[in-house]
Structure 1
């Protein structure tokens, strides 16, 4: 499942990752570099497995299970917060 940002959510790069701003509520979320890597991969149209694979390439010490779990957790959190929708 690839994702897209909800139409009223904007993303801004930061020194350490990315900030997502919900323009309706004014709430924002700060993503670290790892979460940013995952989200950018998903926003680019890739499946979660590809995002997890990219995470392992960036951090070779991660296991397949951990990278998959971290990717799934981020997707769940972003969907629950209403920041992204399936593309």
Structure 2
């Protein structure tokens, strides 16, 4: 499955992650560096599984929680119609 931001969403890199802006509503999401890693992976053609694998390499002690966290992030972005 491929992922993309909605046409009305802009992403801006920051020192600590990424900020997404929904230009229709003015709502924005400030994503920390870890969430930004997931977003970049998905937008670069990766899968949820590859994003999980990347995070497991960075945070081996949190391996059990990573799948749920990545899934929750993807679900939240889709529910907000920010990403498809």
* TM-score, normalisation: structure 2: 0.94
Residue 24 of structure 1: how far off its partner (Å): 0.9
Residue 2 of structure 1: how far off its partner (Å): 2.9
Aligned Cα RMSD in Å? 0.9
Aligned length: 84
Greater fraction of residues in helix: 2
**Equivalent residue for 1:33?**
33
**Secondary structure, counterpart of 1:67 in structure 2:** helix
Residue 60 of structure 1: how far off its partner (Å): 2.1
Greater relative contact order (CA < 8 Å, ≥ 6 in sequence): 1
1:10-49 correspondence to structure 2 within 5 Å:
10-49=10-49
Contact 1:2 1:48 in 2 (8 A): no
Structure 1 runs (4+) deviating above 3 angstroms are none
**Equivalent residue for 1:78?**
77
Residue 59 of structure 1: how far off its partner (Å): 1.6
* TM-score, normalisation: structure 1: 0.91
